Structure 1
């Protein structure tokens, strides 16, 4: 993982394109097989190709490989120019100036211009779009007022003149260079979006592409499709693979068997304890950082029991995270030390940030019982019945809910009944967004390698990712401090994050459970695959078969 570097206060910072992406996991000087074809899978269904509305990792994987942004992460996790030729940052960190490459085209041959980026940023911030990622624009001039409906989208601090894009910020943002590589901020052609209307992004034909590949054969619901080389991509000559076949494979064992039969080039073995145990010693197995946090969200908007702080604290105290990570996941997860997962980024002192901010969640059933009884008395509605909701396609998630049910019911006895609701991921996400849940098990991959990628989600009850709708002023103040007065002080920011984590723990707004390990069987003959701990986890731009 790369340590965050403090933004330069010199006049400008200019980056030029690197010499391609380094090989991940293997090194080779061999030439690619002519017109190579690769075979990959997704664990779940693609939900949408609408760049502004995509939130799930499966849609992001396809969007990230068929679209491009100004920058793209290389094998070291560093943003390097893609559609941009170069960019510079003002000495105060408040102005980013980006020069686009000349002659950029969409997959349909039409010109791709700086205005397409302006439109995409405006569309994300526009409350009419209803994007859960709108908060990413916060910090850009007027973005907060636009999201609140107080100013028009045209006032957003993103402008275009010829081949030059200018971003005006209200405060320095350490994560801003990562946003310039982010899938939900990739360019969109306004005329195309408007002509497609409600059909935009609902199938492969209802989208145009700016990246190395084009999607073919996805109807919006089918589970087999492909991406093919986009000849209009600016760097098409260095895209060595003509086609990548994709399958949606929800059963992890099926994926492993297809890998062993040579029908897939990659299969995860961290999906179930049994699969991990059977394949962990395979020579092709590789472990790479994966910044995914799993945590429980409590509905603090409508559930009277979960509105009670003592009850939430009791549930957290009755959660044995070490045993949970061991038993429910078969050691394919790390026990959580807080909201921020292991392997996201290092703190300024060199520690993993998750270690530095550790607020020390405890497992204490005696204290849990005392708090739970007091909480029930305060609520005064009798015994508590609560439902935990999770994804039907995730074995570890189902194991987790089973573990929590047994643990909580054995701790609190007849005072609680825990029900399980196992649904498809699409329904779980809709229920979470609509507030139609008691407790939901959420898995969140960081958008970029910075703590703000997690803390920003919960600063306000109106944030689309704050499904529990809680307000914790001490938490919000700490995050705001990290983003404002301490924005250019790495040590101070880390301490702000520590205070934010402590505030979450004190009010038990969330229940962090575990963070993930990514253990994959990778085809040794496939080179130049880039994997990232956050954002676009699998980038096949320069991948090829040897």
Structure 2
């Protein structure tokens, strides 16, 4: 779903980081880092920078390890009935809220139905769409939450029933978005439940303080049911502008212990620096960065136009400029690690072929092609990607584009509004939420999560069949057939598979990349 980033943090944010750095001197039990301003501290809403903050505060039922195995966290057991649809989750009663109250099945049931409540308008809701009647409830077609297939069957046991057999649902149970909120507190405090004086969490840390747009402080949760964190405190400085630039400056000044990215323009310098390069930790990500079109509008609803623009792109040049060749160019949407992906399906051709396709679509040498706008976030290197595409399309096809760069949270709101509002081209991306083709073919395309508006009846039918197929080999073949349709349609221009570039101070040990998304868990690290 949510990441390489450019500009500078405000003087205040950097000054605050310096103050934290001075306070940190001699304190080996405080972890210092930076984040963008979270749009939501409520885990039932979190989809942006919030997920990295909330991953420290809230514990999911399980996680998926690097081998694809389900590793239980708050769940004591997860069992699937012979019908292939009924999941019984038994909670570990050792897990408690940060005030010592038990985390009950009612908390989990309340939280998941709250995610689906259309009044909350949560972007997390699509990840529960497999649950019986969940989509109908979320879209207002039914109004009774008790009709949704989630119910408590005991104090620490609840049951989830999917509408059809969904073999990938086990992986969804490990999503960091599907964590609980304290029912009693939310009902009493309403929107103010996320204030530090009200918030309760079930993870390794609790929220100690928050100053909007400035700082977030967490302290170890004394009632956490898992292994107690060795790091007792987390201090987060909020960057006001480009997160990568702000982090690198603070990291080099020893004001923070960890940076989650390196700005594109600084990657060569960091790689060449003896000290910084020794602290650089790359992680290849199962994700794709692309440029997408609004397929409901001309000229983007013409496949020849889409294919022409794709063939006019030099992906290697983009990767060199944006990542100093640390990312991997790709001509297919799905990463190679996702079942159903097939590099043989990639669109093939040259710039000359692109010109022919554009002429066939009625725009010889770009004549008559309407000027259009490329929209990008100010972060993650997107402005540079937009500039490179703008130049390539002008030079190779004679078409003219303008660029619209939005601040990150404004960009996210703009993308969300594209469900009904028109656009031309946007730079966007998808990182695997879980390592299954259903996450890409299902949530991304059929669910239209990025508002690309692509589907065909044949494609939708194949995805529906693949989602319920329990034979792994047959399932892969079904998704391969869907992938062939997807790549031929060229609904977007895949550019590259990113590589996360972390910087970690040498005294920080055991800070690990979760593998999907780009999550990390400070509670499992230590500072020497």
> How many Å separate the matches in 1 of 2:207 and 2:344?
42
How far residue 251 of structure 1 moved from its aligned partner, in angstroms, is 5.0
Indicate whether 1:433 and 2:410 are aligned. no
Secondary structure (helix, strand or coil) at the match of 1:429 reads helix
What is aligned with 1:239?
229
What is aligned with 1:5?
none
Aligned 8 A contact 1:295 1:442 in 2:
yes
Aligned 8 A contact 2:248 2:262 in 1:
no
Secondary structure (helix, strand or coil) at the match of 2:177 reads helix
Q: How many residues align?
A: 492
What is aligned with 1:296?
291
What is aligned with 2:393?
408
How do 1:247-258 residues align onto structure 2 when only pairs under 5 Å count?
A: 247-249=237-239, 250-258=242-250
Secondary structure (helix, strand or coil) at the match of 2:502 reads strand
> How many Å separate the matches in 2 of 1:78 and 1:536?
18
Q: 1:121 aligns with which of 102, 112, 118?
A: 112
Deviations for 1:391-414, whole angstroms, at most 9, x for unmatched residues?
1133x222211110001011222x
> How many Å separate the matches in 2 of 1:527 and 1:293?
29
What is aligned with 1:150?
141
How far residue 269 of structure 1 moved from its aligned partner, in angstroms, is 5.3
Aligned 8 A contact 1:311 1:376 in 2:
no
How do 1:41-60 residues align onto structure 2 when only pairs under 5 Å count?
A: 41-42=34-35, 44-56=36-48, 58-60=49-51
Normalised to the residue count of structure 2, the TM-score between the two structures is: 0.85
The change in CA–CA distance for 1:228 and 1:105 in structure 2 (over 3 A counts) is: same
What is aligned with 1:447?
433
The change in CA–CA distance for 1:253 and 1:432 in structure 2 (over 3 A counts) is: closer
Aligned 8 A contact 2:47 2:123 in 1:
yes
Q: 2:480 aligns with which of 479, 489, 498?
A: 498
What is aligned with 1:421?
404
Aligned 8 A contact 1:183 1:536 in 2:
no
What is aligned with 2:13?
none
Indicate whether 1:216 and 2:193 are aligned. no
Deviations for 1:350-394, whole angstroms, at most 9, x for unmatched residues?
xxx65x45521235222222222333469x994311111111133
Unpaired segments ≥5 residues, structure 2: 1-25
Aligned 8 A contact 1:290 1:532 in 2:
no
What is aligned with 2:22?
none
Aligned 8 A contact 2:196 2:210 in 1:
yes
Deviations for 1:111-140, whole angstroms, at most 9, x for unmatched residues?
321011111221222333322232211222
Secondary structure (helix, strand or coil) at the match of 1:150 reads coil
The change in CA–CA distance for 1:468 and 1:360 in structure 2 (over 3 A counts) is: closer
How far residue 316 of structure 1 moved from its aligned partner, in angstroms, is 1.6
Indicate whether 1:475 and 2:459 are aligned. yes
Aligned 8 A contact 1:35 1:242 in 2:
no
Unpaired segments ≥5 residues, structure 1: 1-32, 348-352
Normalised to the residue count of structure 1, the TM-score between the two structures is: 0.83
> How many Å separate the matches in 1 of 2:441 and 2:233?
38
C-alpha root-mean-square deviation of aligned residues, in Å? 2.8
Q: 1:274 aligns with which of 258, 262, 266?
A: 266
